[in-house]
Amino acid sequence: MKRLLLAALLLVSGSVARAQMSAPTFKIDRGNAAQDFSATSAGKATLLSDLAAADTLSTPAIKLANPFVAQVVATALALPLGNAEPASPSPQPKFLYGSRGDYRWELGLGASLLRFQSSVYSASAVGINTSVVYFTNEWFGIEGNLSAVYAPTIYVNEHVKIATYGGGPKITWRKQQWEPWLHGIFGGAHAQPQASGSSRNSYVIKVGGGADYRWNPRISFRAEGDYVRTGFFSQSQNNFQIAGGFVFHF
């Protein structure tokens, strides 16, 4: 019996001693434990588990089949060619005719020489000749024409002054640098000096043509010749007029 009690005591004392040796020794430090941990190498190490978790949460990158082909970025400033909106059409030009394209309006300004012959007096008068044309299509226009010429003194303090005005059709060929044309003007005329028993006013019929040389799209040079018929002094006069100058297209 004594032997059994002795063996039991020895066994209990050995277990207590082994437990004291294996148990950790806790040492309470009232200082900053986080500061001590950050000073160690373990605090500076990046945990592999954190990296693995972050990698699993991130979206996997898409690998291109060809690394040398750049990705197409569709933004408001750079759209793919297939998705790009068509460009808006250019505004219509101010001209509209022919293979060259031309303007609807033209203004002619130039010098004029009228050879006037009648039973009362005759004169070679020099002045200006103007015209305005509106083209309804490529070859047909409506013209307004005004001419005013002056001659030297034929009577005491009397100068020859003849003005013609009117309108009519104009036909032209506007596809070449040289533009030949024909026109007819119907209107009125005014002449001075006045003969006794007759009016200063008369009808006028002007028929002729000319050619314009297009220097640039806006300016042409013009040469013109016309037959001019008037009815002053209760008679008919057959006159001839030549003119030359510039034409402005707009």
pLDDT reported for residue 195: 78
Of residues 123 and 50, more confidence is placed in: 123
Q: How far apart are CA 34 and CA 153, in angstroms?
A: 124
- The answer to whether the beta carbons of residues 134 and 104 sit under 8 Å apart is yes
Beta strand pairing call for 123-135 and 140-155: antiparallel
* pLDDT tens readout for residues 233-247: 889 999 999 999 999
Structure tokens at 200: 């200063």
pTM over 0.75: no
Between 90 and 109, where is the model more confident? 109
105-249 classified as CATH 2.40.160.20: yes
169 preceded by a cis bond (ω within 30 of 0): no
What are 144-183's pLDDT values in tens digits?
Answer: 999 999 998 676 677 889 999 999 999 998 777 899 999 9
If pLDDT is split at 50, 70 and 90, which confidence band does 83 have? low
Query: Is the distance from CB of 194 to CB of 200 less than 8 angstroms?
Result: yes
Domain ranges of the chain: 105-249
Query: If you average pLDDT over residues 18-22, what whole number do you get?
Result: 54
Residue 111 contacts residue 243 (beta carbons within 8 Å): yes
Mean local confidence (pLDDT), 68-76: 50
What is residue 75's three-state secondary structure? coil
The answer to whether 228 and 206 are in contact (CB under 8 A) is yes
Q: Residue 196: its pLDDT value, please? A: 77
